Amino acid sequence: MRHLILTFLLCISAYLSAQEKDKTLPVANEEYAQKNYTDAEANYRISQSKFPNRSAAAYNLGNTIYKQNQAGEAKYAYATALKNAKTKAQKHKAFHNLGNTFMKEKDYTQAVEAYKNALRNDPTDDETRYNYALAKKLLKENPPKNDQNKDKNKDKKDQNKDKNKDQNKDKNKDQDKKDGQGDKDKKDEGDKNKDPKKNNPQDQKGQPKPMPGGISQDRMQNLLDAVNNEEKKIQDKVNAQKVKGAPVKTEKDW
Is the entire prediction scored with pTM above 0.75? no
Q: How far apart are CA 128 and CA 119, in angstroms?
A: 7
Topology agreement, domain 23-86+221-254 and domain 87-145: yes
Q: How far apart are CA 99 and CA 96, in angstroms?
A: 5
Q: How far apart are CA 233 and CA 30, in angstroms?
A: 13
Q: DSSP assignment, residue 82?
A: H
Q: How far apart are CA 130 and CA 108, in angstroms?
A: 14
What pLDDT score does 211 carry?
Answer: 41
What pLDDT score does 76 carry?
Answer: 95
What top-level class would CATH report for the domain 87-145?
mainly alpha
What CATH number is given for 23-86+221-254 in this structure?
1.25.40.10
Q: How far apart are CA 168 and CA 91, in angstroms?
A: 60
Question: For the chain, which residues score pLDDT lower than 50?
Answer: 2, 4-17, 179-213, 243, 245-253
What pLDDT score does 221 carry?
Answer: 76
What pLDDT score does 31 carry?
Answer: 95
What pLDDT score does 182 carry?
Answer: 44
Tens of pLDDT along 207-233? Answer: 333 444 456 677 777 777 776 766 566
Q: Give 3-state DSSP helix, strand, coil % of the chain, rounded to 5.
A: 75, 0, 25
Q: How far apart are CA 61 and CA 54, in angstroms?
A: 12
What pLDDT score does 155 carry?
Answer: 56
Structural domain boundaries of the chain?
23-86+221-254, 87-145
